[in-house]
């Protein structure tokens, strides 16, 4: 059953188009990664899904209900972690969780207590005013408040911002556990490694338009690796004439390459030569966006 559906969802701010005709459908029990450059429209879509702003055109349905600005019953079924987290600074951590929990009629604290332990938020922190928290401690508190009322849908904006690597891994385990329980997670992130690790599907937004909605395996096939190789002896012409391999620089003995998709064809070729040095670096998320955006722009501008 689809948990999120949008049809022609559009948002204008004056003459500025923040979101344009977005069609999206996300099934129950899916961890969906939402990627885009700053200003691409990620936050606008999230606010529309939460009913915090009205669309200029189009509609959105969440958990089978059309989204509107006033629907407290629907909001009780959603957990939300904003990207720019603002908490009540003068409250103690425990007070913040109890206060926010009352908005959802929370009575059972089993999930809250489990997450406090899993994310290592110590009792001393819960007794401390939030204004004394580190960035990571505030993020833990934000995650716990989003999950504590056992929502059917979680909307998480940059959820691991400020968390150390150990807590990040524990958080990923929490996401997998919730998916196994049939929960749906919509997660916006700049961290491609994070998205690859936990998401089944990925949406990419560019200038307000959803330009890709793909399985993670298909996105991985588009990844670009930067490869630097140094051979013991100069290679003959055409050694790197391999599908998916672009030569950025080569002097016969040293080469800089850009490899799209599978690295194995290149590695098989190099295995037949004497290699003195090899460096492989996965492209950053920014590189992938730029590459993807260039390809998308080229497709849009190609005459039919």
- Whether residues 9 and 55 share a domain: the answer is yes
* Phi, psi of 131, deg, nearest 5: -65, -15
Assigned domain for 149 exists:
yes
Provide the number of structural domains found in the chain: 2
CB atoms inside a 10 Å sphere around CB 227: 21
Contacts of residue 90, defined as CB under 8 A and 6 or more positions apart, other chains included, come to: 129, 130, 131
Say yes or no: 174 and 248 in one domain.
no
- Alpha carbon distance 187, 160 (integer Å): 10
Q: Do 187 and 74 reside in the same domain of the chain?
A: yes
The two structure tokens encoding residue 171 = 């958080």
> 237 in a domain, yes or no?
yes
pLDDT in tens, 239-250: 899 998 999 998
243 and 169 share a domain?
A: no
Looking up residue 65, the CATH number of its domain turns out to be: 3.40.50.300
Residues 157 and 198 both lie in one domain: yes
Reported as a single tens digit per residue, the pLDDT across 149-188 is 999 999 999 999 999 999 999 999 999 999 999 999 999 9
Same domain, 200 and 234: no
Q: Does 275 fall in a domain?
A: yes
Same domain, 264 and 196: no
- Say yes or no: 67 and 122 in one domain: yes
pLDDT digits (tens, 9 = 90+) for 176-232: 999 999 999 999 987 777 888 899 998 988 889 998 888 877 766 667 788 999 999
Q: Annotate 21-51 with b (16+ C-beta within 10 A) or e (fewer).
A: ebebebeebbbbbbbbbeebbbbbbbbbbbb
Same domain, 191 and 45: yes
For residue 285, pLDDT beyond 60? no
CATH of the domain at 274: 3.30.70.1560
- What pTM, to 2 d.p., does this model score? 0.79
Same domain, 122 and 6: yes
Task: Give the tokens for residue 156.
Answer: 């998480």
Number of neighbours of residue 294 by Cβ within 10 angstroms: 10
Within a domain: 84: yes
| Whether 143 and 274 share a structural domain | no
Query: Would 300 be classed as within a structural domain?
Result: no
Same domain, 125 and 204: yes
Q: In sequence order, what DSSP letters do the residues of 31-61 get, joined into one string? A: EEEEEE-TTSSHHHHHHHHTTSS--SEEEEE
What range defines the domain where residue 152 resides?
2-220
């Amino acid at each position: 059953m689809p948990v999120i559906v949008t049809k022609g969802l559009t948002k204008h701010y004056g003459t500025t188009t923040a979101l344009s005709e977005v069609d999206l459908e996300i099934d129950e029990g899916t961890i969906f990664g939402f990627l885009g450059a700053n200003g691409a429209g990620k936050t606008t879509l999230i606010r529309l899904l939460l009913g915090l702003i009205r669309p200029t055109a189009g509609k959105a349905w969440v958990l089978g209900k059309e989204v509107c600005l006033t629907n407290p019953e629907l909001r009780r079924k959603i957990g939300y972690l904003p990207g720019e987290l603002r908490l009540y600074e003068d409250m103690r951590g425990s007070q913040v969780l109890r206060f926010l929990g009352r908005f959802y009629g929370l009575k059972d604290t089993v999930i809250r207590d489990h997450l406090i332990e899993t994310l290592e938020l110590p009792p001393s922190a819960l007794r401390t005013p939030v204004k004394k928290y580190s960035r990571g401690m505030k993020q833990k508190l934000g995650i716990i408040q989003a999950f504590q009322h056992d929502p059917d849908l979680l909307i998480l904006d940059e959820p691991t911002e400020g968390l150390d690597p150990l807590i990040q891994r524990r958080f990923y385990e929490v996401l997998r556990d919730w998916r196994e329980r049939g929960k749906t997670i919509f997660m916006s992130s700049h961290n491609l490694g994070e998205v690859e690790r936990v998401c089944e599907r990925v949406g990419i937004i560019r200038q307000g338009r959803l330009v890709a909605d793909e399985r993670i395996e298909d996105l991985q096939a588009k990844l670009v690796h930067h490869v630097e190789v140094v051979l013991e002896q100069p290679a003959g012409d055409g050694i790197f004439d391999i599908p998916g391999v672009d030569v950025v620089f080569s002097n016969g003995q040293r080469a800089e390459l850009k490899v799209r998709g599978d690295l194995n064809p290149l590695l098989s070729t190099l295995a037949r030569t004497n290699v003195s040095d090899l460096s492989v670096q996965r492209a950053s998320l920014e590189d992938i966006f730029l590459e993807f955006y260039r390809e998308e722009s080229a497709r849009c501008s190609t005459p039919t």
